[in-house]
Amino acid sequence: MKRIVPGLLGVIVVGGIVIYQQMRHLPWIVMLETGILGIGVVFSILHFISVWRNRH
DSSP per residue, the chain: -TTHHHHHHHHHHHHHHHHHHHSTTS-HHHHHHHHHHHHHHHHHHHHHHHHHHHH-
Taking the whole predicted model, whether its pTM rises above 0.75 is answered as: no
Residue 12: the pLDDT is 80
Residue 56: the pLDDT is 62
Residue 2: the pLDDT is 63
Residue 51: the pLDDT is 83
Torsion of CA 10, 26, 39, 48, to 10 degrees: -110
State the pLDDT confidence band at 36, using cuts at 50, 70 and 90: confident
What does the buried/exposed string (b/e) look like for 1-19 if buried means 16 or more CB atoms within 10 Å of the residue's CB? eeeeeeeeeeeeeeeeeee
